[in-house]
Structure 1
């Protein structure tokens, strides 16, 4: 596991804790705006983890594909992924 993957796993564990806390907040009848803020925090950390994984993919898988003259396929894959992220 490389550094980006380790950071991504840590971010995912943090998001898991935030989601569990959010579920508890709802069960406890906490103020809706506070619950929403917790959801936004979890969403933000999930995006961070996703970017770390994408960076790892670019630095390793895509680079290797270009070295083997198969970069076009990987670039199309990344573009499809980015389109999903952007909601397009």
Structure 2
């Protein structure tokens, strides 16, 4: 596993810990705004991890496919992901 994937895994593990904390906050009937802030924080970590994974995909899988003359499918995949991501 390369360094960028390790960083993505660490971000995901941190987000998982935050989600566990959010669940506890809800179970403990904590203040809604505090819960919402923690949810936004977890979402930011997930976005950051997703960006790292997509960057790796573009730099390696898409680049290799283009060099092999088979890039259209990989490009379409990235466009589909970005379409969902940007909504």
TM-score, normalised with respect to structure 2:
0.97
1:20 paired with 2:24, answer no
Q: CA deviation at 1:55?
A: 0.4
Q: How does 1:1-88 map to 2 (within 5 A)?
A: 1-87=1-87
What runs of 5+ residues in structure 1 fail to find an aligned partner?
none
Q: Which runs of 4+ in 1 moved over 2 A?
A: none
Distance 1:27 1:73 in 2: 45
What runs of 5+ residues in structure 2 fail to find an aligned partner?
none
Distance 1:81 1:26 in 2: 31
TM-score, normalised with respect to structure 1:
0.96
Aligned length: 87
Distance 1:42 1:67 in 2: 37
Q: Deviations over 1:39-79 (max 9, x none)?
A: 00000000000000000100110011011011111111110
